[in-house]
Amino acid sequence: MATRTPSSPSSPLLPWLGVALLVIVLDQFTKTLILQYFQYGDSRTVTSFFNLVRVHNTGAAFSFLAGASGWQRWFFVGLGAVAAIFIVWMLRSHGGQRMFAWALSLILGGALGNVIDRLLHGYVVDFLQVHYAGRAFPSFNVADAAITVGAVLLILDELLRVRKAR
């Protein structure tokens, strides 16, 4: 298996932190709009397969641990903080690898966007809902979308890197 080589020490960190900050700002702005204009549980149909809703998620992805007694809030805040430190360290080491750095920056921005929610509200504000044939996919937000796109880019980057190493 090929190993990931660090890019040069002069790899730019600031642009990647800027991408993460942009994700955070967009995420928090959209959540602020939802909190301002929607009551908890409100739903507005946008298309035949997409709604804007206001739900609160005290758990993680797909409401994992949402029913726990409250300890999960601090667990996910701590996990997000540790992940953020690790991602910044990775960006410093590999900032010259564009797809990898894009992926990490999107994940960083999304993780911190959700950490901010947990610190401010005790839950994550979700508001995007896709549905089909009477079944709804779990609601999500801009931060979740950024994390998902970042994860897909990480997988693609790894597949391309391994393919290139052959």
Residues acting as catalytic residues: 126, 144
List residues bridging with 128 in a β-sheet: 52, 140
Region at 81 (left for phi over 0; alpha for psi -120 to 50; beta for the rest): alpha
Output the CA torsion sign for 10, 109, 4, 99.
negative
Query: How are beta strands 50-57 and 43-47 bridged, if at all?
Result: antiparallel
What distance in Å separates the CA atoms of residue 92 and residue 86, rounded to the nearest whole number?
Answer: 10
- 107, 121, 106: which is closest to 57 by C-alpha? 121
- 11, 15, 22, 12: which is closest to 112 by C-alpha? 22
